[in-house]
Structure 1
Amino acid sequence: MTIPETYFTVSEELRLFGLSCLMGAAVGAAYDVLRVLRLTLPHNSCLVAAEDIGFLGLYAVVLTAFSNAAARGEMRLYFAVGSVLGFALYFFTVGRAVNATLRKLFSVVGAALKLIFRPLGAFFALLRAKANVKFVGNLQIIVKPLKKIKIVLLNRRLLLYNKMANKKRKNVKSVAQKNETRKTEEKRSVQRRSR
């Protein structure tokens, strides 16, 4: 009976640690592309969070694939430590130069795309102006009659607040008139006292 091997030799562990460091550097290069995308294109916080979650998911898939391909499917803590160390080494050494190169590359590509799509932008601006006039005109035709129509609730049936026992609001008018007469009398009395 053969028992499967359940341990790694020291040389195998060192080799796996070095490979995990290289894997971390490769993940760092993917992060550089993400960083340059963030710098060149405007991002809001939701999109940044989604990109970060996607990046962490990519890292988890890469770490799992690494353990399946290189380490017989066994996950070791030093794989994660080695990949984080490789990521940090890449980020602080080669990553700066790669980031600057990628920024220049993206800016050149962006300028070329702007140059290519500039005539299309003018066409779409003209199309938008024509469509805007047409749609605003149609909207005015539709909205003006609707504003003029007043749907009177008294003509609707079966509404409880439509029952008007007292159609004239006698109390409101009398109170308002009383308040106005009282204010005018107070003004007159103040004017008489000041004389």
Structure 2
Amino acid sequence: MSQEIIIELQFFWVSILWGALILLAYDQLRVIRRIISHNNIFITIQDMIFWILASIFIFAMLYVKNDGIIRGFSVMGMVIGMVLYHYILSDLIVMLISRGILLLLRPLSITIKYIRKGGSFLLKKGKNFLKIILKRLKKILESVKIYLTKYKQKSNNKKAKIHHKNHKKKKSKKKQVPKNRDKNKR
């Protein structure tokens, strides 16, 4: 075989490898999606970002390996790599990695589960405690209001008595003055 054909075959194998590596990277997104649930909008955004980055890496590979020339057999090699990887290894790798991560996270999830149970128990007891405290504070507030109204009534009564006494004294002084005058006149 000539040297040029060997170089082209190597480039074809590199294209197949790049196609498989791109899907391997995409499978990491699939693993994350299995572990953490996502809504469709977030998945769409992730896919767009991934394929934009993948296209940048593909064109960088084409630039380095083939002087930026896009050839049909290189695109076909990437597609072949993606298809082979997808049907042979993709599901197995996603399953193994996601199960392994979930297995490693299992003690953490159990711990979080018990912390949540304890937290909800404490929250429930805390709510009951606060209800009791609020009832007692309401009773105290009512008794303080009652005391203050009685105190106001007593002070108003005292003020009224003092005012009444002062008023009587003023009246009596006014009455005595004319009496004294009457005595002086006699």
TM-score tier after normalising by the smaller chain length = 0.5 to 0.7
Which of 6, 17, 20 is 1:22 aligned to?
Answer: 17
Pick closer, same or farther for the CA change 1:70–1:108 going to 2, 3 Å.
Answer: same
User: Which runs of 4 or more aligned residues in structure 1 lie more than 6 Å from their structure 2 counterparts after TM superposition?
Assistant: 126-131
User: Which of the two has higher C-alpha Rg?
Assistant: 2
Q: Report the AA paired with residue 10 of structure 1.
A: I
Structure 1 equivalent of residue 31 of structure 2:
36
Equivalences for residues 6-155 of structure 1 within 5 A:
9-118=4-113, 121=116
Letter in 1 for 2:10: R
Aligned residue for 2:16, secondary structure, equals helix
Conserved 8 A contact 1:24-1:84: yes
1:79 maps to amino acid: S
Q: How many Å apart are 1:127 and its aligned residue?
A: 8.5
How far 1:116 moved relative to its partner? 4.3
Offset of residue 112 of structure 1? 3.1
Aligned residues: 127
CA distance in 2, matches of 1:27, 1:86: 9
1:160-175 equivalent positions in 2, closer than 5 A: none
- Show the counterpart of 1:183: none
C-alpha distance 114-74 of structure 1, shift in aligned 2 (>3 A): same
Give SS of 2:23's match.
Answer: helix
CA contact (8 A) 1:23 1:86 kept: yes
24-33 or 112-121, which moves further after superposition? 112-121
* Backbone CA RMSD of aligned residues: 2.9
More helix by share: 2
Q: Percent identity over the alignment?
A: 23
Higher-RCO chain (CA-CA 8 Å, sequence separation at least 6) = 2
Post-superposition shift, 1:126?
7.2
Deviations 1:132-186 (A, max 9, x none): x8xxx9xxxxxxxxxxxxxxxxxxxxxxxxxxxxxxxxxxxxxxxxxxxxxxxxx
Q: 1:90 deviation in Å?
A: 0.6
> Structure 2 length normalisation: TM-score?
0.56
Q: Is the 8 A contact 1:63 1:80 kept in 2?
A: no
Shift of 1:109: 3.0
For 1:191, the equivalent position in structure 2 comes to none
Partner-residue secondary structure (3-state), 1:73? coil
